[in-house]
């Protein structure tokens, strides 16, 4: 399983764009990159998934360079409600129940 | 759809007691998993199931049993509770045929304290 490394914490202010980078040097050819969001006292929630280049949905964008050894989750114009822990996961195509959730990045959005 | 439901929300046990954490989903998902989350930590996989009658161990299976007799239910049994099992337990499900590969749906969690 590819190991991921991401910052322990980040601070931002309302209205700013936040970029959280995840390193996954040992990513395998069939691995997808997935990001989850977790609010206090709640289960994680799927945000976005990608394989290469750029993926965008109504919540975030995911940028993946050609070598796929890292990825960046971009949250546009964050609000206080985006304060949460964000997890980067790398898993095989077809899915794997052995996805590894690291400690994630605790994002704090300040007023 | 109720999604993934877990009961109870809170539980306090004494060392050595046994109990079952319930998990149910109404989305007809084949895959179900149990995770534990300790303070300041990520989630660690305990057991998982890829279908009724099929289960397998995750990263931290010791002290826990599971069975999957129906698609909807995936209970987690603590055989003899220990203080080290104090944690928040999350159940998750997904359907690889219907969703993105690594998209799991999580329940609200059960907060367990073992004294």
Give tens-digit pLDDT for A42-69.
Answer: 999 999 999 998 999 999 999 999 999 9
Closest to B103 measured CA to CA, from A96, A80, A111, A78: A96
Task: Provide CB contacts within 8 A for A97, sequence distance 6+.
Answer: B31, B33, B45, B48, B50, B56, B58
Least confident of A97-101, B29-33, B76-80: A97-101
**Nearest residue of chain B to residue A93 (CA atoms):** B101
Cross-chain CB nearest to A49 (options B45, B48, B102): B102
Q: Looking at the complex, does the CB of residue A71 fall below 8 Å from at least one CB of chain B?
A: no
Q: What is the model's pLDDT at position A39?
A: 94
Q: Is the peptide bond before A65 cis (omega within 30 degrees of 0)?
A: no
């Amino acid at each position: 399983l590819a190991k991921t490394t991401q910052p322990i914490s980040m601070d931002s202010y309302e209205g700013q764009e936040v970029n959280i980078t995840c390193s996954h040097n040992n990513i395998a050819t069939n691995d997808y990159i997935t990001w989850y969001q977790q609010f206090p006292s709640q289960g994680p929630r799927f945000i976005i998934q990608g394989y290469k280049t750029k993926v965008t949905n109504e919540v975030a964008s995911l940028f993946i360079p050609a070598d796929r050894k890292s990825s960046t989750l971009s949250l546009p114009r964050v609000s206080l409600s985006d304060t949460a822990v964000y997890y980067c996961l790398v898993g095989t195509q077809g899915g794997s129940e052995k996805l590894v959730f690291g400690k994630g990045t605790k994002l704090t959005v300040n007023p | 759809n109720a999604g993934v439901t877990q009961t109870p929300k809170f539980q306090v046990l004494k060392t050595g007691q046994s109990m079952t954490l319930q998990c149910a989903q109404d989305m007809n998902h084949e895959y179900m998993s149990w995770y534990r989350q300790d303070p300041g930590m990520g989630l660690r996989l305990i057991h998982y199931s890829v279908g009724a009658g099929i289960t397998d161990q995750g990263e931290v299976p010791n002290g826990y049993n599971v069975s999957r007799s129906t698609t909807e239910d995936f209970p987690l049994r603590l055989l003899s509770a220990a203080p080290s099992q104090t944690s928040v337990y999350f159940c998750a499900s997904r359907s690889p045929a219907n969703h993105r590969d690594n998209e799991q749906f999580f329940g609200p969690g059960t907060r367990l304290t073992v004294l």
